[in-house]
Amino acid sequence: MEMQVEDLTNGVTVVALRGRMDIIGAGAIDLKFSTMAGSKRSIVVDLSAVEFLASLGIRVLVMGAKSVRSKGGKLVLLLPHDDVNAVLTTAGIDEIIPIVFDRADAIAAVQN
């Protein structure tokens, strides 16, 4: 599981995740993701290269979103592929964390 953080000039942070957010993958990024979420206010999590997502991965995303929200910030999920999106919607995550399918829309959503 890889995690790349890009700070844009407009104050938005784009976090690109790559790989499997399974038992090992979620554990590999948990600390890095929570540290990042604890220090940023406008985060787009690019899921387009995440090929698998299970509940431990969802836990990482929800905890990060809660952390950002506690500071009055916003976090959105960008471009999950179909299987990953099915897991997110089955879990009801789309009701509590916005899922966006266009990068520009995602950046705009966390800037407001």
Cα distance between residue 23 and residue 54, in whole Å: 8
Residue 2 binds other proteins, judged by CB under 8 A: no
From candidates 3, 16, 58, 108, binder to other proteins by CB under 8 A? 58
Residue with tokens 């879990």: 91
Residue 112 binds other proteins, judged by CB under 8 A: no
Q: Which two tokens stand for residue 66?
A: 């809660």
Residue 16 binds other proteins, judged by CB under 8 A: no
Q: Are 46 and 12 spatial neighbours (Cβ–Cβ below 8 Å)?
A: no
Cα distance between residue 91 and residue 71, in whole Å: 25
Nearer to other proteins, 14 or 64 (CB): 64
Residue 5 binds other proteins, judged by CB under 8 A: no
Residue 92 binds other proteins, judged by CB under 8 A: yes
From candidates 3, 16, 62, 108, binder to other proteins by CB under 8 A? 62
Nearer to other proteins, 7 or 95 (CB): 95
Cα distance between residue 75 and residue 35, in whole Å: 14
